[in-house]
Structure 1
Amino acid sequence: MAQVTMRDMLDAGVHFGHQTRYWNPKMAPYIFGERNKIHIIDLEKTLPLYNDAMNFISRMAASGGTILFVGTKRAAQSTVSSEAKRCAMPFVDRRWLGGMLTNFKTVKESIGRLKQLETMMDDGTLARISKKEGLSLQREQAKLERSLGGIKDMGGTPDVLFVIDVGYEKIAVREAVKLGIPVVAVVDTNHSPDGVDYIIPGNDDATRAIQLYMGSAADTIIEGRQTAEVAALIRKEDSERGKAERAADKGADKGDKRAGSRRSKQKDGAAAEDKGNVPGEKVPGGENSSTEGGGEAA
């Protein structure tokens, strides 16, 4: 998991909350104090909660889960899109469309239309139609790309929502709660943590703070995937080694059985030979028959 220290949080301004007059009493447990009418967030509480959230994200990534990054406010847009792309996760960085989760079936149809338009642009279809119609389709494609471009490769609803500013993204949080999707979110002093499964008390406005959250989450996802790949490779090697050992043991057992069978046959043959040479028994053409013949001739 990507390690973030309290010094990193201080440098990024994570501890700066909102003006005291805008505070939400439900955030009182995470407030250290105030300075110049600004609430100061207690980073000694933020850091372990942040680590819990990142551990959860790491486990979800390692198990192949999908984490949807959500940050549509201006300060978060570029960071959300760049970090989500870096770790190959879906994202929403412009406007959250109502029903994006709860009515995903309809959203998926719009995604299908977006992909159809992209195919038309790539294969030269637009060049074969009128200029007016072509411009209309290009505008439609651009509009859909702004709204759905970040989730066009998301096959279904995500396994986790990672949200910057629960107040700004309250519709997204509400839809996730309705569907039982776990929510990891940065919550500032002016918002309620209700509905958030993994709360990160911190500044949700400063660009450097947002870069810290998103960059660390992306690193955690990448590391989680790599850990899962290594574990899968080890399991595969162990499985192949086990098969080889079982095959060798089986071959050894067959060899032992064949050797035992040969020894048994040899023993039976020796017993039969001993039985055929009983002491005192006359053997045709032997010494006893010759002696008897000589006596009669004399």
Structure 2
Amino acid sequence: TVAHGGTILFVGTKKQAQESIASEATRVGMPYVNQRWLGGMLTNFTTVHKRLLRLKELEAMEQTGGFEGRTKKEILMLTREMTKLDRTLGGIRDMAKVPSAVWVVDTNKEHLAVAEARKLNIPVIAILDTNCDPDLVDYPIPGNDDAIRSAALLTRVVASAVAEGVQARAGLSADKDAKPEAGAGEPLAEWEQELLSQSATADGITEGGPENTREAVAEADSKLAEAPAEVAEAEKQA
């Protein structure tokens, strides 16, 4: 998914997962939600995207001195708005569209995120604890979603897989013009070797065009015609 330009949204708002969700998603450059899940974050992404633009606008105003000339009350209100938006949407500030898949820690706590993802047919990858419904998860990973180390370990594994996808995407982009032979450098399976040998045999028969093909067929026919005579001769000798 990631290798073909997709994104993975990391979701974990429980205290045991907040730190690992933020650190691992940031490490691989993926969006994340580790605070409160806002209803409609996926199903109503158009509105959420407008709030993201507002957050970036406020940050730009603060950095370029846009707060200058305003009253203390106005500056305080704008600062509070920016802080609130950053706390709830800061992890998805660079998400331009709905993700290709969602990684969830504790599907019971993140039931809103799971429901929205399923409504949009977005694959859900999640830790499947004993109290979770497996029917809600497309790719379950059995584990304990209440333990800090367990959640951190599985999140790191998913993030590492995402990192490999990002590297593969970079490799595909670099080699876009040069198209290497499919399967180069990889050992062939037995069925692949058999197909190649059959193909080579067929090429040998048809090599040289229709004339060689006719000669091969004529030779086979002559051998078939000689077969009854050989059988009769063998019977006389017997």
TM band (smaller chain): 0.7 to 0.9
Q: Does 1:141 align with 2:82?
A: yes
Give the CA deviation at 1:210.
1.2
Corresponding letter in the other structure for 2:27: R
Amino acid at match of 2:3: A
Measure, in 2, the Cα distance between the counterparts of 1:164 and 1:193. Answer: 13
Alignment-derived partner of residue 229 in structure 1: 170
Q: Distance in 2 between matches of 1:119 and 1:87?
A: 25
Q: Deviations over 1:189-219 (max 9, x none)?
A: 0121122110011100111111111111111
- Amino acid aligned to 1:236: D
The Cα of 1:233 is off from its aligned counterpart by 2.9
Percent same amino acid among aligned pairs?
A: 50
1:234, distance to aligned residue in structure 2 (A): 3.6
**Corresponding position: 1:150 with 2:77:** no
Distance, in Å, in 1 between the alignment partners of 2:120 and 2:165 is: 25
**Count of residues in correspondence between the two structures:** 180
TM-score in terms of structure 2 length:
0.73
1:97 alignment counterpart: 38
Bigger relative contact order, structure 1 or 2 (CA pairs below 8 A, ≥6 apart): 1
Show structure 2 runs of 5+ residues with no match.
Answer: 181-238
5+ residue gaps, structure 1: 1-59, 240-298
Any idea what SS the aligned residue of 1:166 has? Answer: coil
Letter in 2 for 1:118: E
Give 2:130's match in structure 1, choosing from 178, 189, 197.
Answer: 189
Match of 2:105 in 1: 164
Query: Which amino acid in 2 is paired with 1:176?
Result: A
Q: Report 1:198-277 matches (<5 A).
A: 198-238=139-179
The separation in 2 between residues aligned to 1:235 and 1:139, in whole angstroms, is 46
* CA displacement 1:62-94 (0-9 Å, x = unmatched): 111010000000111111011101000000000
User: Aligned-pair distance for 1:152?
Assistant: 1.3
Q: Which residue of 1 aligns with 2:72?
A: 131
Classify the secondary structure of the residue corresponding to 2:127.
strand
Superposition CA RMSD, Å: 1.3
1:173 corresponds to: 114
Which deviations, in whole Å up to 9, do the C-alpha atoms of 1:211-250 show, x marking residues without a partner?
A: 11111111111112212322443442348xxxxxxxxxxx
Distance 1:182 1:208 in 2: 25
